[in-house]
Amino acid sequence: METAEHEKRIAAEAAAELVEDGMSVGLGTGSTVAFFLPALAVRGLDLRCAATSPRTESLAREVGLRIERFSAVEHLDIAVDGADQVAPDGWLVKGGGGAHTREKLVAATADRFVVIVDSTKLVPALHAPVPLELLSFGLASTVRRLAALGPVERRTGRTSPDGGVICDYRGPIGDPRWLAGALRAVAGVVDHGLFPPELVAEIVVGRGSRAERMRPGGGRW
Ligand code: 5RP
């Protein structure tokens, strides 16, 4: 197995150990989460799960996890998800799979949001692209408003699990908190892939053959 894939598995398996019997669990989306699902299922715990995408839902059902409709879920004990970039101050970029709006909602619903990544995701500072989900209604005007912040490219053939248009912001990031607010304030933007450190309880990094657990902001890379 290639190193990054091996590290994803290591991080995913370590995160599966954080889940306890009786918990409600948010399931993220992506290739790292694809390692987490069987690692969780094999523990044979009594769990109720909410999935952030149809792909995750079907993978979770295949390994025997019980999935509930998220629209009826008020609270989750824990959510586990991957990320595209993790900065030393704990800011994340997510949405490589175009599911960041759902992923942010599920993370915000959980008492504890755990991020699982291989070591290639640790970056000295966040950089473009930052995924965006836009309403298709008024799309051209939304893209025009966004152009005041920086270039935006549409991902061909990509929609979010809720039918939103997926684009990538390709301008400078600078202060992520400022950019997060500026992107969110553009009419027609459903959500962006910048996740603040206060949303994150813990980051589990697969590094070589070890899993390292760290708090957001405690990065040393
Ligand atoms: C999907 C995501 C993923 O968590 C992110 O893209 C990381 O994916 P992977 O685990 O495949 O590297 O945000 O919207």
Give per-residue pLDDT as tens, 105-132: 999 999 999 999 999 999 999 999 999 9
pLDDT score for 221: 77
What's the rounded Cα separation, in Å, for the pair 95 and 30? 9
User: What is the band of 179 on the pLDDT scale with cuts at 50, 70, 90?
Assistant: very high
- The region of weakest confidence among 30-34, 157-161, 164-168 is 157-161
pLDDT score for 158: 85
Cβ–ligand 1 distance for 32 under 6 Å, the answer yes
pLDDT score for 219: 67
Domain locations in the chain? Answer: 2-122+195-214, 130-191
Cβ–ligand 1 distance for 7 under 6 Å, the answer no
Q: Is 194 exposed, middle or buried (0-12, 13-18, 19+ CB in 10 A)?
A: buried
Give per-residue pLDDT as tens, 9-46: 999 999 999 999 999 999 999 999 999 999 999 999 99
Cβ–ligand 1 distance for 99 under 6 Å, the answer yes
For the domain made up of 2-122+195-214, the CATH class stated in words is alpha beta
Residue 2 has pLDDT above 80, yes or no: no
> Is the pLDDT higher at 166 or at 218?
166
Residue 1 has pLDDT above 70, yes or no: no
Atom of ligand 1 nearest to the CA of 193: 13
Could you say which of 13, 57, 103, 133 is catalytic?
A: 103
pLDDT score for 210: 97
Residue 77 has pLDDT above 90, yes or no: yes
- One of 3.30.70.260, 2.40.110.10, 3.40.50.2000, 3.40.190.10 is the CATH number of 130-191, namely 3.30.70.260
Mutation probe of ligand 1 site: the residue of 3, 94, 168 with most atoms within 8 A of C-beta: 94
Q: Which long-range contacts (CB under 8 A, 24 or more apart) does 34-40 make?
A: 34/59, 35/8, 35/9, 35/11, 36/12, 36/80, 36/116, 37/63, 37/65, 38/63, 39/9, 39/12, 39/13, 39/15, 40/16, 40/65
What's the rounded Cα separation, in Å, for the pair 212 and 203? 8
What are the C-alpha distances in Å from 87 to residues 32, 62, 63, 125, 200? 18, 34, 32, 5, 12
